[in-house]
């Protein structure tokens, strides 16, 4: 996380699962420290060293094309919740892409997330 004279840089156009930027697509936006774009809880965890940049949650990008190199990442600790090669990853991708077309309900997804010791 960059800090400079009362400003922060937020990552935009990142994968909404692993929060990685994509070369040539992702960008950073410089905002003042009191900007409403800064999620204060995410900023706290980022400052505590979870390895994630500050994220502009209003400007996510597309999911990673190569699921084998992606993962569902915890915003608190920065660790992996679900690997990209886990069958549940595909279910989450389908559900998050268009929940109305998903064969799984929110409750089934939530139950599976809890089995991975995670929460929404």
Question: pLDDT tens digits, residue range 41-88?
Answer: 999 999 999 999 999 999 999 999 999 999 999 999 999 999 999 998
Q: Where are the alpha helices (DSSP H) in 11-117?
A: 40-47, 87-97, 106-115
Per-residue pLDDT at 112 exceeds 70 = yes
Task: Using pLDDT thresholds of 50, 70 and 90, give the confidence band for residue 106.
Answer: confident
Compute the mean pLDDT over every residue in the chain, rounded to the nearest whole number: 89
Per-residue pLDDT at 8 exceeds 60 = yes
Nearest to 1 by CA among 54, 60, 73, 59: 54
| pTM to 2 decimal places | 0.83
The DSSP letter of residue 21 is B
What gap in Å lies between CA 15 and CA 17, rounded to an integer? 5
């Amino acid at each position: 996380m960059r800090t400079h004279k009362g400003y922060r840089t937020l990552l935009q156009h990142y994968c909404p699962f692993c929060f990685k930027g994509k070369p040539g697509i992702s960008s950073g936006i410089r905002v003042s420290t009191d900007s409403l774009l800064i999620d204060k809880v995410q900023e706290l965890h980022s400052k505590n060293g979870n390895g994630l940049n500050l994220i502009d949650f209003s400007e996510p990008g597309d999911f990673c094309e190569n699921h084998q190199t992606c993962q569902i990442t915890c915003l608190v600790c920065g660790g992996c919740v679900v690997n990209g090669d886990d069958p549940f990853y595909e279910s989450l991708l389908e559900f998050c892409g268009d929940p109305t077309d998903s064969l799984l309900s929110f409750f089934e997804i939530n139950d599976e997330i809890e089995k991975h010791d995670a929460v929404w």
